[in-house]
Amino acid sequence: PEKDKAGLPNEATVNGWISNVNRENVTAYIDQVSDKPLLAAKLPGGKVTAEKKIAELGITDYRLSNGVRVILKPTDFKNDEISFIAFSPGGSSLYSDADYQSASSATAVVRSGGVAEFNSVQLPKMLTGKKVSVNPYIAERFEGISGSAAPKDLETALQLTYLYFTQPRKDAEIFKGLIAQSKGSLANRENDPNSVFADSVSAILGNYNIRRTGPTVQKVDQINLDRAFDIYKERFADASDFTFTFVGNFEPEKIKPMLEQYLGSLPSTNRKESPKDLGIKIPAGKIDKKVYKGTEPKANVRLVFSGDYSYNEKNNNQLDALAEVLSIKLIERLREDEGGVYGVGARASYSKLPQGRYTMTITFGSAPENVEKLISSTLDEINKIRQNGAQAVDLEKFIAEETRTTETQLKDNGFWLNYLNNQLQNEEDPKQVLTYLASLKELTPAALKAAANTYLSGNNYIRLVLLPEVK
């Protein structure tokens, strides 16, 4: 279900094709160890000016004197783990299309440059023996920072966080290497059928907005080091609207002085920002697109239903259940009854902001000659649910699996971190998780019939197929 990937800062707009460059291959500096401290300056610090508790969730909510909000959920799931994530509204949405490549690559540029006096070779050496990771990000609607540390290394993580806000490092030589590697990684992209199909899908579903089309050498050439660095500094110039969430093995009162010292010292200008609604959404109506690439005798199919959506727990549950029930039926019919299909399944996604939208995506692979028959069978299974509702046994399978999954997730730091971050971003009540399993009992076969007629009517239906090139 959508809640499993809640709040993750991995929006499609983040240019993974530059962020994932292995910067250790770029050796522009002599390998050397610095004997300087990571953070030498004496920081002014701040104070907790307000404190609230959410007792039902074991959460402490601090407000610092510079405006920073800190959500703390101590757990005993792992002795050696504290994870955190922060967000602030804005992101790359605030920048023009001309600046977009620089904006979406800005954090990759900064991460490859290091912080303060430590370049990308010296910084990892400074951290040798420590279990610590800190990464700034700029996504489409938010910027922020995420990280993790062993409890003994939390102070180092907070120092790094402070430095990524205040002393990012620009490195022209490393940047040249990044650009060269990015271009190299794109050299054969247009010859890879899966990449070509993925880019086509993204472009069509994004209505050919430049922020949704695939990576190209021309886009890499638009990344400007100075502009990327300036955008980064703009996004992290004001911490007053940042919300940090910490989950893991700590006691709030014991880490409070560190939070006051490092997060309380972050710069604050009290500016008011909101992400810009770029108006990018899946086009309405019916679209049928075939992509011919490669020579292997196999096809990939993606069927997409989408539309406007009222985001609430009841509707979210119905969409998740509908996706699972449909997946069960498609596996039974396409794979077990008709054979020759792989990777079949339906997946629901939905968003509240900037506007309520839903997507139901059905994917499978097959032999090219079976595509039409299998699509017809898929639409037939959808129509059965629209006419008759879900079978009770399939709905029970969904509820049982969700119950098992949720019970496991409630003991997982990563789940809590992403769930709380997502609820905060969407301005939803974090206590919803306490009633989630009970709310599933409200699902009925008739409710899924109504949901199928609402969300799978076929009025907005996009059919995308990857086929081998015609000889």
Q: What is the pLDDT of residues 252-264, one digit of tens each?
A: 999 999 999 999 9
Say how far apart CA 333 and CA 1 lie, in whole Å: 22
Cβ–Cβ under 8 Å, residues 85 and 7: yes
Tokens 């967000």, residue located? 87
The yes-or-no verdict on residue 394 having pLDDT over 80 is yes
- For strands 341-351 and 82-89, give the pairing: unpaired
The pLDDT of 446-466, averaged and rounded, is: 98
Q: What is the pLDDT of residue 225?
A: 98
The yes-or-no verdict on residue 360 having pLDDT over 80 is yes
- Per-residue pLDDT tens for 410-444? 999 999 999 999 999 999 999 999 999 999 999 99
Q: What is the pLDDT of residue 437?
A: 98
Which has more pLDDT, 133 or 15?
133
Q: Using pLDDT thresholds of 50, 70 and 90, give the confidence band for residue 17.
A: very low
Say how far apart CA 425 and CA 84 lie, in whole Å: 15
pTM score of the predicted model = 0.91
DSSP state of 118: B
Q: State the average pLDDT for the chain.
A: 94
Can you list the alpha helix ranges (DSSP code H) found in 169-273? 172-186, 193-205, 217-221, 225-235, 252-262
Question: How many residues are listed for the chain in this entry?
Answer: 471
The pLDDT of 40-65, averaged and rounded, is: 97
Tokens representing 439? 């709310």
Residue whose C-alpha is closest to residue 306's, from 213, 207, 441: 207
Nearest 5°: CA angle at 246, between 245 and 252?
120
Q: Walk across the sheet containing 286-292 and list its strands.
A: 286-292, 461-467, 299-308, 357-366, 341-351
Q: What is the pLDDT of residue 7?
A: 46
Say how far apart CA 261 and CA 44 lie, in whole Å: 7
- For strands 69-74 and 243-248, give the pairing: parallel
How large a percentage of the chain has pLDDT more than 70?
A: 93
Say how far apart CA 307 and CA 454 lie, in whole Å: 10
Q: Using pLDDT thresholds of 50, 70 and 90, give the confidence band for residue 4.
A: low
- Per-residue pLDDT tens for 190-235? 999 999 999 999 999 999 999 999 999 999 999 999 999 999 999 9
Query: Which domains are assigned to the chain?
Result: 11-190+216-265 (3.30.830.10), 286-467 (3.30.830.10)
Cβ–Cβ under 8 Å, residues 110 and 164: yes
Q: Using pLDDT thresholds of 50, 70 and 90, give the confidence band for residue 35.
A: confident
Can you list the alpha helix ranges (DSSP code H) found in 264-363? 313-330
- Per-residue pLDDT tens for 105-121? 999 999 999 999 999 99
Q: Which residue type sits at 237? A: A
Say how far apart CA 464 and CA 289 lie, in whole Å: 5
How far is the CA of 8 from the CAs of 336, 418, 449, in angstroms? 35, 6, 31
CB-neighbour burial class of residue 262 (10 A; exposed 0-12, middle 13-18, buried 19+): buried
Q: What is the pLDDT of residue 339?
A: 78
- For the ranges 33-42, 66-75, 143-152, which has the lowest average pLDDT? 33-42
